[in-house]
A and B are shown apart, each in its own frame.
Chain A
Amino acid sequence: QSALTQPASVSGSPGQSITISCTGTSSDVGGYNYVSWYQQHPGKAPKLMIYDVSNRPSGVSNRFSGSKSGNTASLTISGLQAEDEADYYCSSYTSSSTLNWVFGGGTKLTVL
């Protein structure tokens, strides 16, 4: 069960926009519209930010958006704020495993 591929780190200044990529295969990201994104602050539990590629749960800022093209999903954060500094993980449904879900390796977002 291979993890999805994310960049180890990204950074941006307050007010800017950043994008985090999540690359998989046709057995996971490319084959299903079931990509989700989680935010995790140090020492805290993850929090759902995006589900089904581009849907935001109630209460999540509209500065967070998701998209997908082929085998790569993306999370975009616009109008960066200091509180956005955290680790971000993507996850996808997969047909390659009986467990049916796989996470990305995580991306550390630094707000400069």
Chain B
Amino acid sequence: EVQVVETGGGLIQPGGSLRVSCVASGFTVSSNHMSWVRQAPGKGLEWVSVFYFGGSTYYADSVKGRFTISRDNSKNTLYLQMDSLRAEDTAVYYCARGGAGKPFDYWGQGTLVTVSS
């Protein structure tokens, strides 16, 4: 059974850093394109970053230079390192399989990141 589980969210002060994780089961992260998508409270969906299976990474302009996507193949895990956090980064962060001309077919339940003093 395919499953995606995010962890690591929490309350963080503006300017702080946080790393969220996404553990996959039922498929191999390194053989798939993997993305992060976020949803601010009461708002719509926004693509944040993608890690192509070949190793290329890309970011939305809103997070470029502040967020870093990475993966640990031995742990079948995707990460999102978030630095210089702002109030507008407050959202549920979802990990999803998909990218490069493909939709997002499997999503985790999300992890809430709240940036506030």
Q: Do A and B come from one complex?
A: no
Binding site for B on A (CB under 8 A): none
